[in-house]
Amino acid sequence: MTATSFTEATIRQGASEESFTRGMQYYRDGLVEALILRGDRLSAEVQGSEEHPYAVTAHFAVGAITSASCTCPYDWGGWCKHIVATLLAYVHATPGQVEVRPPLPELLAPLSREQLLKLLLRLADAEPDLPIRSTGYSRAPWWRLRLLRINRPVDRP
């Protein structure tokens, strides 16, 4: 599609024969939804055996897939069938099947510190597993969050 193009052969290399075959079936069954491309980051939701779809994320460089992850518990080497299905859906997508959005840094750059904090707090509320939790920030009471903000050096002129 773009400079991030890669082929089905690239996908085959990253997965076991079984994952590739099952991923191909998932792709053909139309289980890949919400394909979104932001810069060099592709995300999608793949329906699986669970009630909620699995979330797949992949990063690209020119002609290559630099990393890929999925929220399923697969841990037997190479990419899982959901990643394979997502990448296949991307490779074979017709115009309009992939929603292209501006890269996040582009969207976030103009926001003020206040707006960013608001956004992060909303995210932390909605996503209990947000990595920010492990830093201890979100466990801090509101007054501590305010203190952290006050104590941070101002990096703008």
Residue among 35 and 70 whose Cβ is closer to Zn ion: 70
CA distance 20 to 22: 6
Q: Site for Zn ion (CB under 5 A): which residue of 82, 84, 89, 98?
A: 82
CA distance 102 to 124: 22
Q: How many residues bind Zn ion (CB under 5 A)?
A: 6
Instruction: Looking at residues 128 to 147 of the shown chain, list those that interact with Zn ion (rule: CB under 5 A).
Output: none
User: Nearest-CA neighbor of 48 among 65, 70, 69, 68?
Assistant: 70
Q: Which residue has the tokens 């929220």?
A: 71
Q: Site for Zn ion (CB under 5 A): which residue of 35, 37, 42, 70?
A: 70
Instruction: Looking at residues 14 to 53 of the shown chain, list those that interact with Zn ion (rule: CB under 5 A).
Output: none
Provide the minimum distance between the beta carbon of 76 and Zn ion in the complex, in angstroms, as a whole number.
11
Question: In terms of DSSP bridges, do strands 41-46 and 99-101 run parallel, antiparallel, or are they unpaired?
Answer: unpaired
Does residue number 72 form part of the binding site for Zn ion (CB under 5 A)?
yes
Burial class (CB in 10 A: 0-12, 13-18, 19+), 40: middle
Instruction: Looking at residues 91 to 110 of the shown chain, list those that interact with Zn ion (rule: CB under 5 A).
Output: none
Residue among 56 and 98 whose Cβ is closer to Zn ion: 56
Interacting residue ranges for Zn ion, rule: CB under 5 A:
54, 70, 72, 74, 80, 82
